[in-house]
Amino acid sequence: MDDPPSARPLDGVAAALEHLSRRFATVAVVSGRPASFLWDRLGHLTADGTDDAGGVRLIGLYGMEWVGPDGTVRIDDEAAPWLPAVQDAADRLRIDAPDGILVEQKGAAVAVHWRRAPAAGTWVQQRVAEVVDSTGLAAHPGRLSIDLRPPITIDKGTVLRRLSDGCRAVCFLGDDIGDLPAFAELGRLRAVSGVATVGVAAVDAETPPEVAAVADLVVSGPGGALAVLQFLAGDDPGGAS
């Protein structure tokens, strides 16, 4: 979307997640958005007590932030020392960004979006490469965007491994390049641990083809993903399509 910070869950998502959290041992939203963003929109779904006490887990910035049931955001110990470098990168990118470029600082990461200025993609890639060289941050491409994150071994795959510990079956839904590590982790769980897994790709015109290529099930965009959640929650008599 043109303004990522203003994104909202589709109608029906919160209800489906709540029902899923009553039916399954672990339900989580793992996002590239900050954990505080997730709390503002879905915080009412978290459990009382510790963040291991059920409810819906909210994990932001690809696993670098975890939000507790009281809304407290915890930054991973590996990511915290990189906060000054992230701030420096954001400042540098804003200095000469062309019109239409959004430089969004997200705590332990900074994202550069060029959806409103598609002709500026080359500038973004070149400028990001310069900032990466000077700050040591790692660049991660997305949908008409690039995230700059600390060069640490935290991603949606490592989060999925942590969340699925002890589970007999795991389902993951994703739609972008940042989800590929989680799809890869599904394969590892299936091959190494014998866990039953299913990976769902919610695709649209902007979805990188490699996302659909590694999925077990492909559905159409956010609406298709919602249908899968409702089916798993027992809310959709028609099933997912």
For residue 1, tell me if it sits in a domain: no
pLDDT tens digit sequence for 37-96 = 999 999 999 864 334 446 899 999 999 999 988 889 999 999 999 999 999 999 999 998
Bridge partners, residue 224, by sequence: none
For residue 241, tell me if it sits in a domain: no
For residues 145-164, give the mean pLDDT: 96
For residue 2, tell me if it sits in a domain: no
The total domain count for the chain is: 3
- Do 161 and 225 lie in one domain? The reply is yes
For residue 240, tell me if it sits in a domain: no
Last residue of a domain, one of 132, 149, 166: 149
Is beta strand 56-60 parallel, antiparallel or unpaired with respect to 27-30?
Answer: parallel
Residues of the chain with pLDDT > 70, as a percent, come to 92
Of 104, 151, 154, 150, the residue nearest 124 (C-alpha): 104
pLDDT tens digit sequence for 89-115 = 999 999 989 999 999 999 999 999 999
Domain that holds residue 174: 155-233
- Do 166 and 227 lie in one domain? The reply is yes
Per the listing, tokens 């600082």 go with 105
Last residue of a domain, one of 33, 60, 75: 75
Q: How many other C-beta atoms are found inside a 10 Å radius of the C-beta of residue 136?
A: 12
pLDDT for the residue 1:
52
Q: Which pTM value belongs to this model?
A: 0.88
Contact (Cβ atoms closer than 8 angstroms) between residue 177 and residue 104: no
pLDDT for the residue 143:
87
